[in-house]
Amino acid sequence: MSAIKYYEHISEVLSNIRTTQESKIQSAGEKLATAITAGKRAYLYGSGHSVIPVMDIFPRYGSYVGFFPLYDPRLMWSNVVGPNGARELLWLERKEGYAEVFLQSYPLEPGDVMIVFSHGGMNAAPIEAAMYAKRKGLTVITVSSLANAAAATATHSSGKKLSDVADIAIDNCVAPEDSQVDIGRPEKVAAGSTMAVVFVAMSLVAETGARLAARGFTPVTFVSPNVPSIEKDHNEKVFRAYSKALFSRGGE
């Protein structure tokens, strides 16, 4: 049964992340906790499908203020073809020079952290987001397929791949082709990178949260209203805390 094959492949991917990336996730959690404790920001960036872990980190039940997602609707498709379609998005995320224009609207500062998600790690948008953050003095954490980086030739004019720019390069442990299940055709089906990167993303949320708590720092956490002990207006406090933090800096 192909569904079982997918389960088996994904279980192996997650197990590989657990056994090979633990120290990197711990190091990343320490960097993130240090930044958040100091009142700095943990920015999140991705394009195409790699915006999914950005969306899942914050705002999301179980996450907390300190993470700042960078959403660019031009790099998030809401259509298959035509306006905001996948074809247009794929063209734009490969276009050199665009990501910096987008990021100039955000006041990145030394002491902040930038997490950049990209399965392939070859397109201009994630590479240039990471490069821009480095120039601004941020710690850069990347989540991508290191197998793809090893197999592929750089396409960016800098000659760099996303993992080359990272201070901490976390491997999503997914093969370059991404799809997991052989159905007897040249191309496989059922992608694995989203499952992998969301697993990494939640691992970072958990690791960072534990380190914040160990420092005596209480993060303002977004909580499901189904938790009976939570006050009804709890999440309004989260939105207020986020807004206060967001507008505490001006743009460039």
Each domain of the chain, given as residue ranges in start order, spans: 2-246
d(CA 249, CA 252): 9
How confident is the model over 91-103, as pLDDT tens digits? 999 999 999 999 9
pLDDT at 1: 73
Position 188 scores a pLDDT of: 87
pTM of the predicted structure, to 2 decimals: 0.94
**Burial of 96: CB neighbours in 10 Å, binned 0-12, 13-18, 19+:** middle
Q: What is the CA radius of gyration of the chain?
A: 18
In 3-state terms, what secondary structure has residue 43? strand
Q: Which long-range contacts link 242-249 to residues 24+ away (Cβ below 8 Å)?
A: 242/59, 242/65, 245/41, 245/65, 245/66, 245/68, 246/68, 249/107, 249/109
The Cα–Cα gap between 130 and 167 comes to: 10
| Tens of pLDDT, residues 127-168 | 999 999 999 999 999 999 999 999 999 999 999 999 999 999
Tens digits of residue pLDDT in 20-39: 999 999 999 999 999 999 99
Q: What pLDDT does residue 250 have?
A: 61
Instruction: Write down the mean pLDDT value for the chain.
Output: 94
pLDDT at residue 114 tops 70: yes
As a whole-number percent, the residues of the chain with pLDDT over 70 amount to 99
Structural class in CATH, domain 2-246 = alpha beta
